[in-house]
Structure 1
């Protein structure tokens, strides 16, 4: 039967002193909106006449959580000078819960001619003016709001003259007002697109008055975040911005979008323009619930280029990232493939060559993204091998052997990047090192890692774009998850590679057991918080999380694997249940009862 249009009224929260429910207005059809947009709205109201200092502080804190244009209502709680100086767009401090103020009885603390209200909370992240989310290990936050009485007409009213910089929001209000968006740039010197996650407003931005599509485009044109900037390029000519006054971008009935740019964009040639359009195509792709059919770039009213959905596939960030079926090491140490086709019972299909016929027994494995070769570690972590998995061949000699005495101190599971390079860590206490095999062949080259500070690389996973690496780092019994930037200089035999600027990706977790890439900017992580139980959850590479990211419970997980295509099930090795899968919308299902090292290509 035909789908009926959905009619929704605006939903709002009634919050003390500052939020109100509209009592008039029509119920309107919901038009196409950014995916996941929250329907909960907070409407700010101005301070009441002769409001007490408690009411002013509480009202301002609530008004900061609204979408009010230019935070006009929030500014009514400030003195004229404080309003002029306050720049809410410069930064956002994210707390575990809404900021708590002292002196709830309204007496305040003596502060000269005014009143001082300390603010408290547990700080978990900062968002800078470039919309980059930076998580921190939860730490105590303390801020201050200071009030004075100023003359308004014939009376004196309490107003705020000193306040913390930017916005201070609880995590719930932050997630209600903001959403994560991947903007895309090209890996330096390559055609591979790299995701750069930022946070934009769910609805109209109070400061710029731009809708979410326009915010995303502006953020893309402003350039990559500082952390990613050294390893990516943008083909947009210097100074390219949206045409003056552009605040809204809308798809037409053919799902085509025209993006008006300033005259600087006219310097781009046609091939360059197509790459610019590809960046926009994939940046906007996840912001709409319908597919993006076409992107057209304009400069000075003239068309620069048009890129269709089919043409954009040439630049897809997940191209060449492998097939849809995972692999695992069976109980006999052989590499086999699991067919995710719903058949029961599941019959694993051994691969061809030494890894599949048992001549080279494996502990852990990584399958190249073209699915023609695999790298395996065997002999209790002692030796690394690479061989074909599509053709039979002679037994292979190890590319690398660890000298460590204990298996736990030998080689980590290997990982392939999107350029065909193979990575592995030797955990030998006498000589710990990260190694890269260009093209997956010998000889290995050691990759220096800045910022290890005595920590040992326990496990690693390289991203498909090859410019980021997820590292599990162990020290004094705690294993943390950090993301490093992979910098390459030179080319061919002279190329040097290093990992720099490690940033914590799960600071709230006491220890992390396993990790896998699960798309351009997302990880699936196994770990636990202090005093908590083991959990499996999705996390962004910038360390941000959401309640929706927690996956169904699973005990004793030792390995995890996810595909770049989020329609494929997450795979795990559970000591309780064997090799299991998590299809979309279902619970964990056992595929085979014995085995280890489940992996997707990469």
Structure 2
């Protein structure tokens, strides 16, 4: 018995099918295998375009005897959206040879809506009819499970050739990849971060894995994620990160599923390529696994242990506290900073309980506290909170000051003739980033160590003016707000490439810009957020302003911030227990503590930032 059957009453040649799914009600039970029908719950039709609850299991319907070509095409396309990882039902619509060779799991094409399908008219093929399937491309997911947004508004187009096999119509040329609408993709797949090293920093590399478990084919999410981690980083991130796993490392032959023991320990059996490593390298391997699987499962995992092919331990298991020997962590911020109504940089001590925050700002110490006539326009504070980079209120000068000792204001490190310097940003290497919109000096600039001579940075593929930027805490990615003709601002992420072994003063470049919020018609503000995400303020086409979390690969995460309208600046800390802070033109500085509502903390304040 099928978990959920899909009916179709679409006439041949139509463009959109109607699916019927069995959706179970309040008890949340699911039809599985040959389970009996539940006695409670509602059965109702669900249109494909509405999106389907990820708890609903969907399986295709095999081809009927003597089905006509239109029914074969329709049934196959519906079966492709099945929750069966091996797509066994979909293969029944193919010729035996095509079914054997078809490997749709190697890539996924994501469409903004469903597929259009039409028979090719005016063509007489001796083998049988052909059908053209088309759609608007939203993204692709490659063989390493990495998501890549479609930037050119491209169209998907392929042809299905039908032939007769034992007097039954079958498809001889299936699509080269799995093809899903956005709603089906979100139902079947879930995002998870793999982790790789950049120096001693762990860098989140987002990928998508199937949500359903199928131990017989290694398709449970944990095993998929571990396999993806062992296969190496995504192509986009690969040039700036490294893995501790030796080339060719994989799971031990015959491993079908990974599971936890009673102490929340995950034991991972490796093949011979990963078994002969020194202890420090082995522990870094276990650290990558621990962070990766914890991202998938939450806090359920306490320890990872690696095993040899013979089942013996490699003696390099790690738990969360032990990883501090290999991973440099971003310091937990002690303060949140903003510019007050008098154009002074101030800070507030962050309480352990954000709801009990006293909201008592104090002047940022050092030269800024005694420079009575100096007005601050924007600022950035180093992660250790020992220095601040400030742009003067008129936008002409960039200054770096100490927050530890008093003294006179230093000379500016950089000036803009037309007063159009963007707010600055520090990275994990201690380098300072800023953009200038002055026509004569326009572009992206980096100041090594925050003390050297400003260096202009080449940004490959930049089309527009950089009006805002933020370096990620791992130091390998840069988020850029880019204004194009017409004044609209869009968000991109670029990869920061540093020449190896040539010192901090060597020129760096930003490569492979990719859209970070392609669903947004315009982006107003952004900030990096925990686990390699972005917190983006903007609006979709025809929509209203909103703030929501996005993965750095440009795919959208469902979480959005409630009531986030009228915001023109936003900041999030790497520590998820700290409140989101934002600037509202009506209210000034507002906070959103975890699990609470927005509240005003500084009327008249602006330019909120966390260290970084």
Output the TM-score relative to the length of structure 2: 0.87
In 1, Cα distance between the equivalents of 2:270 and 2:168? 46
Q: CA RMSD in A?
A: 2.6
- Residue 179 (structure 1) aligned with residue 190 (structure 2): yes
Give yes or no for the alignment of 1:44 onto 2:60: yes
Deviates more, 1:508-517 or 1:350-359: 350-359
Equivalent residue of 1:435, what SS?
strand
SS of residue paired to 2:106: coil
Aligned with 1:57 (options 73, 77, 85): 73
Residue from 356, 365, 379 that aligns with 1:352: 365
1:24: Cα distance to partner?
A: 4.3
Does the 8 Å contact 2:490/2:517 carry over to 1? yes
Question: How many angstroms apart in 2 are the aligned matches of 1:254 and 1:306?
Answer: 13
User: Is 1:367–2:381 an aligned residue pair?
Assistant: yes
2:7 corresponds to which residue? 16
Distance 1:568 1:267 in 2: 42
- State whether residues 68 and 206 of structure 1, in contact with CA within 8 Å, keep that contact through their aligned partners in structure 2: no
Structure 1, residues 378-435: CA drift from partner, whole Å, max 9, x if none?
131111111122433333322211122xx4xx21101011121111112211121322
2:568, 2:585 within 8 Å by CA — same for their partners in 1? Answer: yes
Q: Provide Cα deviations, 1:150-203, integer angstroms capped at 9, x if missing partner.
A: 243xxx22222223211110111111111111111111xx11111111111112
Alignment counterpart, residue 240 of structure 2, candidates 231, 234, 255: 231
Residue 71 of structure 1 is matched in structure 2 by 87
Q: Secondary structure at the match of 1:514?
A: strand
The aligned length equals: 570
Instruction: Give matches, 1:323-342, under 5 Å.
Output: 323=333, 325-338=335-348, 339=350, 341-342=354-355
Q: What secondary structure does 2:275 align onto?
A: helix
In 1, the alpha carbon distance for the partners of 2:319 and 2:33 equals 45
Cα distance change, pair 27–345 in 1 and its aligned pair in 2 (3 A): farther
Using a 3 Å threshold, how does the CA distance of structure 1 residues 592 and 494 change in structure 2: closer, same or farther?
closer
Shifted more, 379-388 versus 63-72: the winner is 63-72
**Contact preservation (8 Å) 2:398, 2:413:** yes
Q: Hey, what's the Cα distance between the residues in 2 that align with 1:376 and 1:84? A: 63
Cα contact 1:334–1:357 (8 A) shared by 2: no
Cα deviation digits, residues 531-552 of structure 1 (max 9, x gap): 3322211111100004x23322
**Aligned counterpart, 1:518:** 529
Change in CA separation of 1:181 and 1:109 when aligned onto 2, cut-off 3 Å = farther
Q: In terms of mean alpha carbon deviation, does 303-312 or 332-341 score higher?
A: 332-341
Residue in 1 aligned with 2:104?
88
Superposition deviation, residue 83 in structure 1? 1.8
Determine the C-alpha separation between the residues in 1 that align with 2:216 and 2:171.
20
Deviation at 1:529, TM superposition (A): 2.5
**Inter-partner Cα distance in structure 2 for 1:366 and 1:139:** 37
SS in 2 for 1:54: helix
Structure 1 alignment gaps of length 5 or more:
1-9, 29-36
Query: What aligned pairs does 1:441-456 form with structure 2 within 5 A after superposition?
Result: 441-453=451-463, 455-456=464-465
Aligned mates of 2:33, 2:3 — CA distance in 1: 11
Determine if the alignment matches structure 1 residue 112 to structure 2 residue 132. Answer: no
C-alpha distance 344-557 of structure 1, shift in aligned 2 (>3 A) = same
Given the alignment of the two structures, is residue 200 of structure 1 paired with residue 200 of structure 2, yes or no?
Answer: no
Structure 1 residue ranges, 4+ long, deviating more than 6 angstroms after superposition: none
Q: Is this contact kept in 1: 2:491–2:517, CA < 8 A?
A: yes
Q: Distance in 1 between matches of 2:76 and 2:446?
A: 54
Q: Is the 8 A contact 1:228 1:485 kept in 2?
A: yes
Name the CA distance, whole Å, in 2 between partners of 1:27 and 1:443. Answer: 72
* Counterpart pick for 2:155 among 141, 156, 159: 141
CA distance 1:151–1:414, change in 2 (3 Å): closer
Q: 1:275 is matched with which residue: 269, 274, 284?
A: 284
- In structure 2, the CA distance between the partners of 1:286 and 1:495, relative to structure 1 (3 Å rule), is same
- Cα offset, 1:70, TM superposition: 2.1
Contiguous gaps of at least 5 residues in structure 2: 9-18, 23-30, 39-52
Task: Provide the C-alpha distance between the structure 2 equivalents of 1:48 and 1:485, rounded to a whole number of angstroms.
Answer: 51
Tell which deviates more after alignment, 13-22 or 65-74: 13-22
The answer to whether structure 1 residue 569 and structure 2 residue 579 are counterparts is yes
Give yes or no for contact 2:215–2:257 (8 Å, CA) kept in 1.
no
Report the CA distance between 1:148 and its aligned residue. 2.9
1:543 aligns with 2:554: yes
Task: Name the structure 2 match of 1:254.
Answer: 263
Deviations 1:229-266 (A, max 9, x none): 11111121221111011121111111111110011112
Structure 2 residue aligned with 1:498, among 509, 513, 522? 509
